[in-house]
Amino acid sequence: MPAFLTPEFFAVLLIFAVSALAQGILGFAFGIVAMTLLPLVLGFRDAVILLAVLNAAVMSFALFWQRASFRWGDARFLLIGSLIGIPIGAYLVGALPERVLYVLLGGTMLAISANQFIRRRSGPKSSKPAWELPVGLASGVLAAGFNMGGPPLVAYIYSRDWALDQAKAVLASCFMVTAFARLGFLGMSSVSLPDIFKMAAVILLPTVAVLWLGIKVGHLIPQRWLRPGVFVYLGMMGVLYLFKR
């Protein structure tokens, strides 16, 4: 982990600020943005565990501030599937070589980005409970392995005919549950947990402040302008990680 008040530390702080702003505006992308940039500053496993700790706290605030739009019936099968996927993803990040992890991460990001633009040709659809368990499972695997369980959920939830606040609340609930479940597997990571917790404690307050700002800004910006840009970025970073050495 970088020492405090070093250029690397401020780079990590900036990454989390940008991630929190994206999360507040869009209702997702905290893990996507952070996990695409953190490995450029930290080692892969340090990035995964630091993000896991901060994710749990940040998503708790996100759900609290959007709790009025949360409906248990919208989230239950997605939550169950996510919890099933957590142990699978935690095992993968502890067992596979780092190069394989980068390829899996990059390939997943690129595939989801491409799928997003293909799927945009069709309009919103009603909920499909039969899809929610496998979507949640895929999200849980990605959340535990890479701290970016959002793409499968986003691809499903934003294709439904749900109100925007309703979609954001469901996303926040899923992210919070998987983040706390992920904490139970920190011991498998072989990183210095005391250093991780110290760094997370210092970064948490400014990150949450930017999250709050992002939620306020998100109510002012048409979402149709923002979501395509996130998925273009996701695809570009997917290509980067596929060829990273």
pLDDT (0 to 100) of residue 64: 93
What would the mean pLDDT of 64-91 be, rounded to a whole number?
88
Q: Can you give 44-57 as a three-state secondary structure string? A: HHHHHHHHHHHHHH
Look at the block and give the residue holding tokens 């919890």: 83
Domain boundaries, the chain: 7-242
Is the per-residue pLDDT at 190 higher than 70?
A: no
Is the per-residue pLDDT at 237 higher than 70?
A: yes
Q: Look at 141-155, 157-171, 195-209 and tell me which has the smallest mean pLDDT.
A: 141-155
∠ CA 31-24-110, nearest 5°, is 35
Confidence label for 63 from pLDDT (cuts 50, 70 and 90): very high
Confidence label for 245 from pLDDT (cuts 50, 70 and 90): low
What would the mean pLDDT of 42-71 be, rounded to a whole number?
88
Nearest-CA neighbor of 109 among 142, 79, 140? 142
Is the per-residue pLDDT at 26 higher than 80?
A: yes
Is the per-residue pLDDT at 53 higher than 60?
A: yes
Helix axes 98-119, 30-37, angle to 10 degrees: 140
Q: Look at 58-67, 84-93, 149-158 and tell me which has the smallest mean pLDDT.
A: 149-158
pLDDT (0 to 100) of residue 196: 86
pLDDT (0 to 100) of residue 80: 92
Q: How far is CA 139 from the centre of its chain?
A: 9
The string of pLDDT tens digits covering residues 83-111 is 898 888 878 777 777 777 778 777 877 87
The proportion of the chain whose per-residue pLDDT surpasses 70, expressed as a percent, equals 89
Angstrom distance (rounded) from CA 171 to CA 86: 16
Is the per-residue pLDDT at 115 higher than 80?
A: no
Question: DSSP string spanning 208-237?
Answer: HHHHHHHHHHHTTS-HHHHHHHHHHHHHHH
Q: What is the mean pLDDT of the chain?
A: 82
Whether 61 and 208 have beta carbons less than 8 Å apart is answered as yes
Nearest-CA neighbor of 89 among 151, 141, 135? 141
